[in-house]
Amino acid sequence: MPSWLSDSLIRRILFGIALSGIALGGLAWLFGRPFWAQSIWAFATFPVIAGLAVSIVRDLAVGRFGVDAIALLSMSGALLLGENLAGIVVAIMYAGGNLLEDYAVGRAERDLKTLIDRAPRIAHRYSGRQVQDVAVDEITVGDRLLVRAGEVLPVDGILASEFGAIDEAAVTGEPLPVVRQRNAPLRSGSVNAGETFDMTATTVAGESTYAGIVRMVTAAQTAKAPFIRVADRFALALVPTTLILAGGAWLFSGDAVRALAVLVASTPCPLILAAPVAFVAGVSRAARDGILIKGSSALESLARTHTVMFDKTGTLTVGGARLVAIETAPHFSSDDILHFAGSLEQASHNVVAGAIVTAARARGIALVGPENVREAMGSGIEGRVAGKLVKAGSDKFVFGHAKLQPWAVRVLRRASWRSALSVFVSVDEQPIGALLLADELRRETPRAIQALRMSGIKRIVMVTGDRADAAETIGAALDIDAVLADRVPSDKVEAVAVERRLHPTIMVGDGINDAPALAAADVGVAMGARGASASSEAADVVILVDRLDRVADAVTIARRAYGIALQSIFIGLGLSGIAMVAAAFGLLSPVAGAVSQELIDVAVILNALRALSRDRRMGKSALPRSAIRELEQDHEVLNEALNRLREIADNLDDVPKDIATSLVSEAHQIVTKRVVEHEREDEMVVYPRLNRSLGSNPALAAMSRAHREILHLSRLLSRLTDDMTVENVDRYFIRDAQRIIESIEALVRMHNAQEEDIYEHASI
């Protein structure tokens, strides 16, 4: 067969022949030329019979048997008995069904172009004191290589310079650059995020980490089983039943045409059409919500899913640096730190600098242009801001060899607890505070996890290359069933394979490092809104909008479409069964049987098209966008109070008794007048409005429980404050007050984030 003559093209040609044949034959019949009409119908049916016969032989050669055999018998029998119109009608139904199936099963091409293009072709190798550009394949173990700023590491190796700033996002998924010291291991596929450094190769290119990622994606994709039509599962029962009924009708009536009528009436177009139409409708429905499902096989696998596995960085989290806390040195304010750091970091272009500048501008802090800026990649940046020497960077960069002050030690400890990056700031060699930056959960992540459980998912697992402490903290917050941390791409593939052996499994990720695991799962789901093209190519489903809750939507849509497909099949089989019995008793001629099948097809298709629609929330009204903005503005005002509560809790670490009592009293006033009043207004005014929009929703009940917990903590703080005097304040009293204040601040922040997500959902 010529390379250009594909199966899909042949099916289109056959459908065109059959459709043209019935039209031309119909015209001949209308003009009183019945012989020509019969001849045209027979001529147009022959190619479809031939194509179907070849397809059946090929299927039998690989041990597959389907209901297409009935269609072959129907068309052949119709021509042998002179019922050519019935034959061409069956041919159209069969050929048209194949086209629909082709459209449903067609999958996006999975070439690894983006993944392969990213791999470096040239490396800079030392030859004596000279540096020569050589092909990556020429690198041998022990070669000393030069890696310039912004370049991808060509092979695995160890760092030969004093330090290097490495962006490992493509390999581990970790969003923040890490600083490696001399002799630290380096992985190919990582990016030099700092100054030029030297490395020593420990592998050749073909055995490197990045080459392994390419091989694993290719192998996992090759291992995918082809999609088997839902219809074939009914073939073993339907084919013999049809033949027995047709043979019985012929035997008892002595009329072969009656047997043909049974065969035509049983032609399995409901089976051939129902699943593809419902699946295509489901794929189209998903596309409206920004979910690209690559074919009916992926949709069917989604519908059967038991387990969902998530990557952490960029999937459950936002995947970038975010300012999570400002730690101040004594006698300095958070605004001072943001002013100097934000002004200085304007001269840098790395991710951390951008996050600091964004945070400063979001608070309305005026920034000035820095001068005489010098950046030490991977360590920090220094320059002059308003005539003052400002430094921002690591503790070693800011403090040098001096002993860390107590507040700075607490900063490093808190950064460790939060799995955050600490950026210390000094002005004229005087440290004034530090900024903590970390990755954080997507706002919709808690609701996405809950929605997956509600959609029928039984097990949720997080597998990540991040550290165990950071991963387990997020896992506990989200009530995830299992957390697998410190996993490189090969470990992720193995973890997916283990889960897949137990139950049908989805893997959700967003980076190149996730591509092998996505390809290894029953269904790979890529968060592709940010252009993660390699993972998108390896995935069966791509979320085109930056919303994690679309994963649950994809599962829900797939299960509904699959359910409608099965429903359509059973409806079609039931109606076909009635038509077959009527034909067996001579109540339907072959042509009438074909027409009845067309009517059944229409009913089946109309039912299958229900998969295009969204489930309507009866009796519920969407929340106006103006109400959403009003609620978000209230939270912005409340965040100012929460920022102050955090500062008070931090300052209680080491203050005299009189200052401690003053700070606790201030916190009590903020909680009573700002936090408690806000939560009570939510309960009395906002939630009834949300209830009208969302109806009976378990999320609102959870929000009300959070209100009660916040009020409970506020009462504890009130009791503590009522009994407080300078004389009875000791370190235990201060510690208890600090814990309550921190609990209130953290709970209200989380509660506000969940509320905003619910508000957004209510407006959809």
Q: Which two tokens stand for residue 145?
A: 């290589």
By CB atoms closer than 10 A (0-12, 13-18, 19+), residue 728 is exposed
111-132: b (≥16 Cβ within 10 Å) or e = ebebbeebbbeebbbeeeeeee
Rounded to the nearest 5°, which phi and psi values hold at 420? -115, 160
Sheet strand arrangement including 421-427:
322-328, 430-438, 421-427, 388-393, 380-385, 371-376
Residue 694 carries which side chain, given as an amino acid letter? L
Residue 674, CA distances (Å) to 53, 738, 757 in order: 78, 18, 22
Sheet strand arrangement including 482-484:
291-293, 541-543, 523-527, 505-509, 307-310, 459-463, 482-484
Residue 4, CA distances (Å) to 1, 8, 11 in order: 8, 10, 13
By CB atoms closer than 10 A (0-12, 13-18, 19+), residue 683 is middle
Residue 75, CA distances (Å) to 266, 437, 544 in order: 12, 70, 44
105 touches 226 (CB < 8 A)? no
Sequence-ordered strand ranges (E) for 314-357? 322-328
* 653 is a catalytic site residue: no
Beta-bridge mates of residue 459: 307
* Distance (Å, whole) CA 120 – CA 105: 35
Closest CA to 323 of 624, 641, 646: 646
Rounded to the nearest 5°, which phi and psi values hold at 455? -80, -5
Closest CA to 678 of 712, 717, 710, 700: 710
* Distance (Å, whole) CA 337 – CA 201: 42
What is the Cα 553 distance to its own chain's centre? Answer: 11
Helix 351-362 to helix 334-345 angle (10° resolution) is 130
310 touches 461 (CB < 8 A)? yes
* Distance (Å, whole) CA 716 – CA 646: 18
Rounded to the nearest 5°, which phi and psi values hold at 480? -85, 145
Beta-bridge mates of residue 385: 388
Residue 658 carries which side chain, given as an amino acid letter? D
Neighbours of 498 (CB within 10 A): 12
What is the Cα 643 distance to its own chain's centre? Answer: 32
Q: Which two tokens stand for residue 525?
A: 């789901």
302 touches 523 (CB < 8 A)? yes
Segment holding 762, helix H or strand E: helix 731-762
Q: Annotated catalytic residue: which of 156, 311, 510, 553?
A: 311
* Distance (Å, whole) CA 124 – CA 148: 9
* Distance (Å, whole) CA 450 – CA 500: 22
723 touches 587 (CB < 8 A)? no
Please say whether the dihedral angle defined by the alpha carbons of residues 154, 157, 161 and 163, taken in this order, is positive or negative.
positive
DSSP assignment string, 457-496:
--EEEEE-SS-HHHHHHHHHHHT-SEEE-S--HHHHHHHH
User: Catalytic amino acids?
Assistant: 311
